């Protein structure tokens, strides 16, 4: 039976954060560099910030409490104001008739500015920006299922991070699709692994 709904992640699933990262996070990179409080080179930190929640990057790099708090407060003010291109295969998701949901973790103003400038707001039944200090993706996924009357086996979760949305979906018994555009992860990290959304339709129909 085809799935009734598909829940998508945003960053590095619908578009590459690296395409806008230097411009979006420039003030944050400047703050970290001027502090001198990091134990890896800045290129490594830049890459991590584009793929990993800031609080984890801060902890792994031994940022002081003051620098971590300043970084959080700065990011709460950041937004992106230029058009953003999706991955070239993103239009393939519109060829799948399942209901679409978007769930992304991050700073509300920043994430909503990305969604607006990607021009994808109308592509989803619901859009959720998860504040990790208040809730988590597992709870949001559970709420989507309960409010819409879905069972776990009627839903797919698609994302790029085995430790975030993939882990949250697994905890709820939802089938997982790892969108691994650049082959960074093992096939064992999710139920399915794809590098192009054209491959998702068969999973949606037959999983």
Could you tell me the pTM of the whole model?
0.94
Superfamily name with CATH number, domain 5-16+83-206: HAD superfamily/HAD-like (3.40.50.1000)
Alpha helices (runs of H) in 82-151, residue ranges in sequence order: 108-118, 137-148
Q: How confident is the prediction along the chain (207 residues), in pLDDT tens digits per residue?
A: 899 999 999 999 999 999 999 999 999 999 999 998 877 689 999 999 998 889 889 998 999 999 999 999 999 999 999 999 999 999 999 999 999 999 999 999 999 999 999 999 999 999 999 998 889 999 999 999 999 999 999 999 999 999 999 999 999 999 999 999 999 998 899 999 999 999 999 999 998
Strands 126-130 and 99-105: parallel
According to DSSP, residue 196 is labeled S
Q: Report how far Cα 146 is from the mean position of its chain's Cα atoms.
A: 22
In the chain, what are the domain boundaries? Answer: 5-16+83-206, 26-75
Rg (CA), the chain: 17
């Amino acid at each position: 039976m085809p799935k009734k709904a598909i829940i998508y992640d945003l960053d590095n699933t619908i578009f590459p954060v690296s395409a806008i990262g230097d411009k979006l996070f420039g003030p944050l990179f400047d703050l970290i560099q001027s502090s001198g409080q990091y134990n890896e080179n800045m290129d490594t930190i830049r890459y991590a910030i584009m793929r990993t929640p800031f609080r984890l990057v801060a902890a792994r790099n031994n940022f002081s409490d003051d620098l971590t708090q300043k970084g959080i407060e700065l990011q709460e003010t950041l937004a992106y104001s230029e058009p953003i291109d999706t991955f070239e295969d993103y239009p393939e998701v519109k060829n799948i008739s399942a209901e679409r949901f978007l769930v992304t973790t991050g700073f509300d103003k920043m994430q909503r500015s990305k969604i607006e400038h990607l021009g994808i707001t109308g592509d989803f039944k619901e859009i959720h920006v998860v504040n990790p200090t208040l809730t988590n993706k597992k709870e949001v996924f559970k709420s989507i299922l309960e409010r819409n009357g879905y069972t776990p086996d009627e839903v797919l979760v698609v994302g790029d991070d085995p430790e975030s949305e993939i882990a949250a979906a697994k905890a709820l018994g939802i089938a997982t699709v790892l969108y691994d555009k650049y082959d960074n992860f093992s096939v064992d990290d999710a139920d399915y692994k794809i590098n192009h959304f054209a491959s998702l339709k068969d999973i949606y129909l037959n999983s």
